[in-house]
Amino acid sequence: MFQRLLTLWRQRCRQPKPRPASERRLWGRYPFHREATFQPVSSAEEPRLPALVRNVSAGGIQLAVSRSFEMGTLLTVHLPSHATTLPLLASVIHVMRPTEDTWTLGCSFIRELNDTELRELL
């Protein structure tokens, strides 16, 4: 069942969504320069990988990481918050390579963060 969900999610991520050219974001982004860890859902037995969070919103996150991932890859992102580490499920929606050693992953959360969770992170 999990593999079926993963396949459906990847197919959904590959379909372009029409949005006005003037504004593509649904949520405001907040600068968030902190270290975090993550791991692909498909390799949960492997150790977590380090990431630098560049920004966060109720609907997604931007990560600077040391390797590339395919669009549609599901990640568990472990974000440090005031009280604990908050694990969030996210899907890679775009990948950029701003430097030779760094990839930037734009990720969409599977579940939108509520106001309380977003405030706790910020």
Tell whether the model's pLDDT for residue 19 goes beyond 50: no
Q: Return the amino acid letter for 92.
A: V
Q: How many CB atoms are closer than 10 A to CB 71?
A: 14
Query: Global pTM?
Result: 0.74
Torsion over CA: 25, 29, 35, 38 (sign): negative
Cα 82 to Cα 28, 117, 118: the distances in Å are 21, 10, 11
Overall domain count for the chain: 1
- Helix/strand/coil percent split, the chain, to 5: 20, 45, 35
Domain assignment of residue 92, yes or no: yes
Domain assignment of residue 24, yes or no: no
Domain assignment of residue 77, yes or no: yes
> Greater confidence, 10 or 38?
38
Domain assignment of residue 81, yes or no: yes
Averaged pLDDT for residues 91-111: 94
CATH of the domain at 95: 2.40.10.220
Domain assignment of residue 19, yes or no: no
Query: Residue 75: which domain range?
Result: 2-14+29-121
What lies within 8 Å, CB to CB, of 62 at 6+ separation is: 29, 53, 54, 55, 56, 104, 105, 106, 107
Averaged pLDDT for residues 90-101: 93
